[in-house]
């Protein structure tokens, strides 16, 4: 699994893989007890190859600690230092990731913020390998083949595994995607014979967002915790439906009284609720057409939407790949617009996974 290779920059190494060792879970439990004694109630997981029974691995126990804000080191680092851990890596530009090393066992303790898409990515990969013998063997064979080669740096070995990791993760994400049947439509729209109309990128779209942003901030004031232009109209050069997707983070999306009436007064209407999907609410307007997506803080989907947008902004090849899929799907007729969105799932997941690698 790809684990933050910058931790090993500049180190010339040979990769030494060990057959799965039944002692590894016990080493994890010992370190878990040590960390919980220092940080009662800490959210901890055993991740990486040593967490997958039957999988060969470098004999390093990878652990993941989820905190509210890794940059707030005063909230967790002194307690861990007292237990013998030490900070070795800070990556403020990559999910605020930290690595701490253990006192007497070869441990990498990776720290991520709650709601970070990396958290689910690593747990899903671990759980998929635990339950899928074919992909576990595929990954093991890839690791052994690559470990037989000389490497200047461990991160080069990790990067070489990337292709197979993404292949496995794509299968895992698609197989575990939650069904979209937990939807309460507050306002119905016509169904049947829906045609998707794509337009070339319009430089006016950011201006449309700016007007909506001002309207939302006027309506909600400091109840707005985050407001972002997302979706295809937020990506210069990308063809899109002329629809402004907006991401709004409020203190509690379930507390509709705190924000829906003000937004309705401003001209939006509540379209749907998805309580089982990140407690998502969707409000809309039609001049211009707007989808206003409302989430609570520390939500993985917020991170994923922003990662996807930023990846498309920065990567012309993947922007072209996504547009080609959109144009092909737009040639079809759909029962609902959501069916068109669902049909894009594979390419969307692939691009997000590349961005998270």
Cα–Cα distance, 42 to 186 (Å, whole number): 39
What residue spans of the chain are helical by DSSP H? 24-38, 77-82, 117-131, 133-147, 154-160, 162-176, 205-220, 260-265, 300-314, 316-330, 337-343, 345-356
Query: Measuring CA to CA, how many Å separate 116 from each of 61, 122, 210?
Result: 21, 11, 27
* Angle of the 345-356 helix axis to the 300-314 helix axis, nearest 10: 90
Cα–Cα distance, 222 to 238 (Å, whole number): 32
Residue 202 token pair:
């319009």
Region 24-35 average pLDDT: 98
From its phi and psi, is residue 54 left (phi > 0), alpha (psi between -120 and 50) or beta?
left
Region 209-226 average pLDDT: 98
- In tens, the pLDDT along 310-352 reads 999 999 999 999 999 999 999 998 888 788 988 999 999 999 9
Cα–Cα distance, 69 to 114 (Å, whole number): 8
Region 74-103 average pLDDT: 97
Per-residue pLDDT, 179: 58
Band of the pLDDT at 195, cuts 50, 70, 90?
Answer: confident
DSSP type of residue 179: P
Per-residue pLDDT, 190: 58
Reduced 3-state DSSP string for 218-272: HHHHHHCCEEEEECHHHCCCCCECCEEEEEEECCCCCCHHHCHHHHHHCCCEEEE
1 pLDDT more than 60: no
Cα–Cα distance, 318 to 349 (Å, whole number): 12
39 pLDDT more than 80: yes
Among 136-145, 175-184, 339-348, name the one with the lowest average pLDDT.
175-184
Question: Between residues 262 and 191, which one has the greater pLDDT?
Answer: 262
Per-residue pLDDT, 22: 98
111 pLDDT more than 60: yes
Per-residue pLDDT, 25: 98
8 pLDDT more than 90: no
Residue 193 token pair:
């014979």
Cα–Cα distance, 236 to 205 (Å, whole number): 9
pTM assigned to the model:
0.90
Band of the pLDDT at 189, cuts 50, 70, 90?
Answer: low
11 pLDDT more than 70: no
Residue from 230, 262, 261, 258 nearest 244 by CA: 230
Helix (H) or strand (E) holding 291: strand 289-295
Task: Kindly give the pairing relationship between strand 43-47 and strand 97-101.
Answer: unpaired
DSSP type of residue 152: S
Quick check: 99 and 89 in contact, CB under 8 A?
yes
7 pLDDT more than 50: no
Complete domains list, the chain, with CATH: 5-176 (3.30.460.10), 184-356 (3.30.460.10)
């Amino acid at each position: 699994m790809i684990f933050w290779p910058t931790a090993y920059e500049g180190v010339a190494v040979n990769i030494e893989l060990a057959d799965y060792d039944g002692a590894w879970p016990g080493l994890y439990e010992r370190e878990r007890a040590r960390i919980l004694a220092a940080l009662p109630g800490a959210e901890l997981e055993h991740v990486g190859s040593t967490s997958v029974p039957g999988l060969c691995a470098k004999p390093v126990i990878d652990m993941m600690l989820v905190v509210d804000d890794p940059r707030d080191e005063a909230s967790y680092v002194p307690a861990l230092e007292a237990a013998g851990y030490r900070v070795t890596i800070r990556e403020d530009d990559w999910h605020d990731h930290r690595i701490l090393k253990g006192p007497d066992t070869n441990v990498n303790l990776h720290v991520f913020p709650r709601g970070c898409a990396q958290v689910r990515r690593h747990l899903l990969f671990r759980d998929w390998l635990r339950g899928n013998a074919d992909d576990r063997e595929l990954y093991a064979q890839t690791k052994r083949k690559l470990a037989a080669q000389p490497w200047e740096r461990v991160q080069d070995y990790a990067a070489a595994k990337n292709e197979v990791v993404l292949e496995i993760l794509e299968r895992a994400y698609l197989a575990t995607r939650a069904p979209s049947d937990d939807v309460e439509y507050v306002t119905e729209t016509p169904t049947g014979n829906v045609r998707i109309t794509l337009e070339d990128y319009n430089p006016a779209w950011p201006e449309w967002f700016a007007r909506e942003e001002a309207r939302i901030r006027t309506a909600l004031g400091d109840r707005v915790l985050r407001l972002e232009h997302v979706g295809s109209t937020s990506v210069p050069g990308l063809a899109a439906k002329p629809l402004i997707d907006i991401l709004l983070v409020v203190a509690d999306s379930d507390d509709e009284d705190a924000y829906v009436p003000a937004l309705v007064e401003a001209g939006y209407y509540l379209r749907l609720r998805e309580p089982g999907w990140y407690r998502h609410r969707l409000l809309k307007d039609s001049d211009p057409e707007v989808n206003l997506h409302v989430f609570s803080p520390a939500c993985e989907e917020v991170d994923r939407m922003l990662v996807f947008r930023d990846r498309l902004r920065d990567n012309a090849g993947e922007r072209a790949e996504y547009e080609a899929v959109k144009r092909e799907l737009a040639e079809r007729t759909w029962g609902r617009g959501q069916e068109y969105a669902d049909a894009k799932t594979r390419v969307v997941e692939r691009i997000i996974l590349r961005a998270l690698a």
